[in-house]
Structures are given as structure tokens and as C-alpha cells.
Amino acid sequence: RGSGRFFIGGNWKCNGTIDSVTQLVKDLNAGSVPSTVEIVVSPTFVHLDMVKRTLRAPFQVAAQDCWVSKGGAFTGEVSAEMLHDFGIPWVILGHSERRSLCREDDELVGMKCEYALSQGLKVIACIGETLEQRESGHMWDVIDAQLQAIANHTTIGNWTNMVVAYEPVWAIGTGVVATPEQAQEVHAHVRAWVAKNVNPQVADTLRILYGGSVNDQNCETLANLEDVDGFLVGGASLKGPSFIKICNSEH
């Protein structure tokens, strides 16, 4: 296990109304969470500032994406420096929905990591294989290429400002959670890859999150795995009481 604090991310994706977000913030603020866990929730860009202003510590916020370079004539985009200016500490990059639906490739994700880190943001970098890649025997190549692109764009010193989320695409939003064996196998591989290709000390401290159909029923088993240092939670992060339970899953 990485030596950093257990980490729970909540990815709200493209969900929420002013009312539902206000209620979710209320539920989180009323919840009891351990001070030893780092917790970051990620509303949409339009809800981000409102959530940041109303959510109590220790909850932090993350954006779900940002532009690859300095802002300017990039209609529809939000830049890393804008997020930093608003006091948003974290950004999720390379989520599988952006990789598949918005055609973000490994190189673009690596470049986004580099720019966001250079602007003082901390990064939740997402990797993970599709079912087809797993079943055709290409899983390790896919994961290694995703890691390599991130590593190519990250200085050794900046790895302390990054967590890696392993999210098998076939487990995201499907209700099909990875088995503990499947999750542990990939997490151990990621840590070994980082030890070999980046630096053993970075690997020791790196938090590797699991994401994909985590809920308040399966979180405890997964939280006990040797190389699982936290979770990135989608659907279950929209339900305050479930998310609070997941925040309490590490014992």
C-alpha cells in the first residue's frame, strides 16, 4: 500500500440541479468522516464554485477536466489557471468517458497532466482498459501505455501532487465491480511499473485508487486490499449517505 492518506474521490459527472447539489452538500456536511482520509468531490464546472463555498472541511473539490494549455481562444474550455484562481485544488484528467466520448488519447492526457501540475493543481489521473482490451490480452499494454504517457509529462517532484485512479472501463457505471483479485492484480502492477519506470520512492507513496461500481456494500472488501489506497466513485457519490459510508470504509 502507498504510504499516503487514504483517498476518496466523488465524480458527480454531468449531473445536478441547484437544488440537488444544495441537498448533496447538506448531506455531506452533516456526515461524519475520519480526519485521516482525504476526500475530494467533483461537481460540474457550473456548480464548482458554489460547492467549494458551501462544503465544509475536510471535503475538497476537483474539476472533472481542464484545457491542455494556457487559456485563450478555446471556446467552451476552462483552463487550469482559472481553476487555480478560484482556489480549486484538484482536477480529474483522462477519465474514460473523456477518452472514449471526447477522443482524448494518451498523449493529450499526459499533456493535460503536465499543464495542470505546472499551474499548481493536483491531479487525479485515470487509466483503465476496456473489456475488449482485457479479453484480447492487451490489458497490460494499454495500461502501460497510459502510464508511460503520464510519466513522460510528469517530473519526479510532481508525482506527490498526483494520484492514479485505475478504472476498468467495463466496471464504470455498469454495476459490475472488479473482483478483489482483479483490482489487486492491476494495482500491484501499477505500483511495480512506477517503481521501475519512475522511481521506487514515488511508488511507495503513490496513492492508487480503484474506480468502477464502488458502492457502500462492496467498499470495505476493496479498501482492505494491499495496493488499494482509495476510490474514485461515480454513481454512489451522488447519494450523500452512501458516499459518507464509503468515506468510512478504511479500517
- Give the residue numbers annotated as catalytic, written as ranges: 95, 167
CB of 15 to ligand PEP, least distance (A): 11
CB of 195 to ligand PEP, least distance (A): 25
User: Which residues of the chain form beta strands (DSSP E)?
Assistant: 7-11, 38-42, 59-63, 90-93, 122-127, 162-166, 208-211, 230-233
Burial (0-12, 13-18, 19+ Cβ within 10 Å), 165: buried
Residue 233 near ligand PEP by CB under 6 A: yes
Residues in a beta bridge with 209: 165
Q: Site residues for ligand PEP, window 139-178 (CB under 6 A)?
A: 167, 172-173
**SS3 for 206?**
coil
Which residues have C-beta within 8 Å of that of residue 121, sequence separation ≥ 6?
66, 80, 83, 84, 88, 89, 90, 91, 161
Residue 232 near ligand PEP by CB under 6 A: yes
Q: Site residues for ligand PEP, window 10-69 (CB under 6 A)?
A: 11
Q: Which is nearer to ligand PEP, 10 or 110 (CB)?
A: 10
Q: Is the dihedral of CA 95, 97, 99, 103 positive or negative?
A: negative
Q: Which is nearer to ligand PEP, 92 or 149 (CB)?
A: 92
Site string (182-221) toward ligand PEP, x via CB under 6 A: -----------------------------xxxx-------
Which residue is closest to ligand PEP by CB?
234
Give the interface with ligand PEP as residue ranges (CB under 6 A): 11, 167, 172-173, 211-214, 232-236
